[in-house]
Amino acid sequence: MRLDKYLTEMGIGSRSEVKQGIRKGFARVNGETAVRPEFKVDEKDRVTWKGTPVDFVAYEYIMLNKPAGVVSATEDKRDRTVLDLVKDARRKDLFPVGRLDKDTEGLLLLTNDGKLAHRLLSPKHHVAKVYYARVQGVMTEADVQRFKEGFAVDDELTALPAELEILSVCEGDTCEIRLKIFEGKFHQVKRMVQAAGKEVLYLKRLSMGPLVLDAALAPGEYRSLTEKEQEALYAE
């Protein structure tokens, strides 16, 4: 890999900024100053920039507890994005794996690993996603059975069988539920609940495949995945 590409991918600066810095002697490889942007390096080399080590990371995996009010996008002209929340990412090419609505909270995986993202989002893999919701309206055992069998939600969506659990006795006209779905269509949870004659008041994703939201993460907080969590995702 070219030295300028290595440093750019590690977030040192733009390609042009990195090239200028290399020519000024800011980069050293294995203790020797490298002044050519095209100088070849690999992950085993010891690279520094202005005396600070720059370790190469090919892929990065970050668990975010997405708060309401931010959008699941890499950039947006009007709203803050989930990437705006991550201040110390090693990679600058992260993207959210799937989407959560702007008002939805909970688990969101950020990575630059396109292969893994495809595995998790591909319809043929049917990766389970679990949500907690507060619902306006009384959910019943008839709803549980209907969701279990799968049903035509609207003209555009026929939902696969899903697992609906009523978490508490409905108080007044409000219920708490947990819903496991095996696909990820646009506004799917809200549309399924609406088709049952109720309305989602609050929605939070708890898990995606084997990856479970860390209870220690407050909305807006994040952490890197452990090696065990990464391995579990690839085994999904």
The structural domains of the chain, with segments of one domain joined by +, span 3-53, 61-123+211-235, 128-208
Q: Nearest to residue 7, comparing CAs of 27, 24, 23?
A: 27
Q: Please name the CATH architecture into which domain 128-208 falls.
A: 2-Layer Sandwich (3.30)
**C-alpha torsion angle, residues 189, 191, 192, 198 (rounded to 10):** 100
Q: Please name the CATH architecture into which domain 3-53 falls.
A: Roll (3.10)
- Do the domains spanning 61-123+211-235 and 128-208 agree at the CATH topology level? yes
Which pLDDT tens digits describe the chain residue by residue (236 residues)? 999 999 998 889 999 999 999 999 999 999 999 999 999 998 889 999 999 999 999 999 999 999 999 999 999 999 999 999 999 898 989 999 999 999 999 999 999 999 999 999 988 889 999 999 999 999 999 999 999 999 999 888 899 999 999 997 777 789 999 999 999 888 999 999 999 999 999 999 999 999 999 999 999 999 999 999 999 998 87
Residues taking part in catalysis = 101
Sequence-separated (6 or more) residues with CB below 8 Å from residue 162: 147, 148, 150, 179, 180, 181, 182, 192
User: Strand pairing of 199-208 and 105-111?
Assistant: parallel
Distance CA 63, CA 172 (A): 36
Q: At what angle do helices 227-235 and 114-121 cross, to 10 degrees?
A: 50
Under 8 Å between Cβ of 158 and 151: yes
pLDDT reported for residue 205? 98
pLDDT reported for residue 236? 73
What class does CATH assign to 61-123+211-235? Answer: alpha beta
Distance CA 60, CA 225 (A): 9
**C-alpha torsion angle, residues 127, 107, 105, 82 (rounded to 10):** -110
pTM: 0.87
Reduce the DSSP state of residue 190 to 3 states and report it: helix
